Amino acid sequence: MTKLCIFVGMTIGGIAGSVLAGAFDMDTFSLGSFVLSGIGSMAGVYAGWKIAQKFN
């Protein structure tokens, strides 16, 4: 259950970071887009882990 929550959180966080980079008019393959996607993924991993801990 924990791995699933982390995977889903990471995916949603990465997508949110990419969308945020698009809102700032960054190119898809730019460094800023990569960094924001990575930060979103890390936030998603943490959120998924916290959600999994709450249900266990």
Both tokens assigned to 31: 């460094």
Q: Is the pTM of this model over 0.85?
A: yes
**With 90 as the cut, is the pLDDT of residue 34 above it?**
yes
Exposed, middle or buried, 45 (CB in 10 Å: 0-12/13-18/19+)?
middle
In contact, 11 and 44? CB cutoff 8 Å: yes
Rounded CA separation 33/21 (Å): 5
Mean pLDDT within 29-49: 94
Predicted pLDDT of residue 37: 94
* C-alpha distances out from residue 5 to 11, 17, 28, 53, Å: 10, 18, 26, 10
